[in-house]
Each structure stands twice: as C-alpha cells, then as structure tokens.
Amino acid sequence: MIRLEQFTQADFKQLIEWIKDEELLMNWSGSLFSFPLTEESLAWYIEDTNDPLTSDAFVYKAVDEATGEVVGHISLGGISRKNRSARISRVLVGSTAHRGRGLCQEMIKAVLKIGFEQLDLHRIDLGVYDFNQGAIGCYTKAGMTLEGTSRESLYFNGSYWSLTEMSMLEAEWEKLYGRHKALQAV
C-alpha cells in the first residue's frame, strides 16, 4: 500500500536523482521546469503548497507502507474551491525497479481519495502524453475516464507531443470506492 506525505525540501535530492534526463523531466512536468532540475526550482514549486485552508496545490511523496521507502511523487493542483475541481500532475514512480508493481495506480487512488473525501471535490482531471501507454493504463485501471486529446500541444526536441485528457467525477469515485469522509488534514 501507498501512503502520501507532504513533499518537503528534505525530498528534493531524491527527486533530482530520479529525473536523470531532459525527456523524463518533460514527460513528468511538461514545460514547468528546465533541465536539470534544481533545488531552487523545487523550492519555488512547493511555495504556498499543502495548507488545507489556503493552498491551491498539494505536493506529495509516495511512501511504500511495507518498507517505508519513498517510491514516487504526485501532486494535486489547480484547485478551484468554487468549482470543486483540481488536476493531478507530476506523477512519477521514481525508480525503474518499482515500476510495474501497481504503485502508480495506488498513488492515483490515494490522491483521488484526498481530493474527493478530504477536499470535497466534484471533478479531478489529468493530462498524460499519448505515447505514455503505461501511465494511461494505470489511470484507466484507477477509474479515470478518457475525455479526449489535445493534439500536438507541446514541442520538444523537434517533434510535437499530444496530451490525452482524463478525469473522474465525484459520483464515479463513490460508485467505485464508496465515500468515507476523512477528518485528517491533507
């Protein structure tokens, strides 16, 4: 099982070690960061995050509960309290040794649970580059619905990448997983 904990400055070094090349950085963050990833850019990234009352973004590390090892990274941002919506982004299972074990699906379910049960959201969406079939499979298995594709939306290294849009609504979450309002802080 996966437990999400706040991503802090103490986690910067590990994330930087995971993001070894520009293509992986682009796949993980789009054009938000420049390569190489730095502690300074990550400090900016977590500014004003993770406050349940005021933040419009929550940034997490994913911890394998069985081993205590940090195995990934995920964020829930673009939070609109008025529209009760948010966007999952920057999903990464860090080490290639951890991939293919269902950790991505557990991370997605954990962040959806926070969004629907703690933040009382109505809609959560995400974008994934269409060539990343492993991620699309993970999100589909977690219950996300394919909405469409933003064609050729990012230009990188001489070619365009298309972004597949997916989402889940509150009623879909409840149908798949039930609803258990949590009282803990996000």
Convert the pLDDT of each residue in 41-74 to its tens digit: 999 999 999 998 899 999 999 999 999 999 999 9
Q: Which amino acid is at 143?
A: G
- How confident is the model over 175-185, as a mean pLDDT? 69
pLDDT for 182 beyond 70: no
CATH, domain range 2-177: 3.40.630.30
Other residues' Cβ atoms within 10 Å of the Cβ of residue 168:
23
pTM: 0.93
Q: How many Å apart are CA 58 and CA 183, to the nearest integer?
A: 17
Q: Check residue 183 and give its pLDDT.
A: 46
pLDDT at residue 90, as a whole number: 97
Cα 70 to Cα 12, 67, 154, 184: the distances in Å are: 12, 9, 30, 21
- pLDDT, average across residues 13-40: 95
Give the CA distances from residue 18 to residues 54, 55, 79, 162, in Å, rounded to whole numbers and listed in that order: 30, 26, 27, 24
Query: Left if phi > 0, otherwise alpha if psi is -120 to 50, otherwise beta: which for 84?
Result: left
Domain ranges of the chain: 2-177
72 phi, psi to nearest 5 deg: -170, -175
**Model pLDDT for residues 83-140, shown as the tens digit of each residue:** 999 999 999 999 877 777 889 999 999 999 999 999 999 999 999 999 999 999 999 9
User: Are the C-beta atoms of residues 44 and 12 closer than 8 Å to each other?
Assistant: no
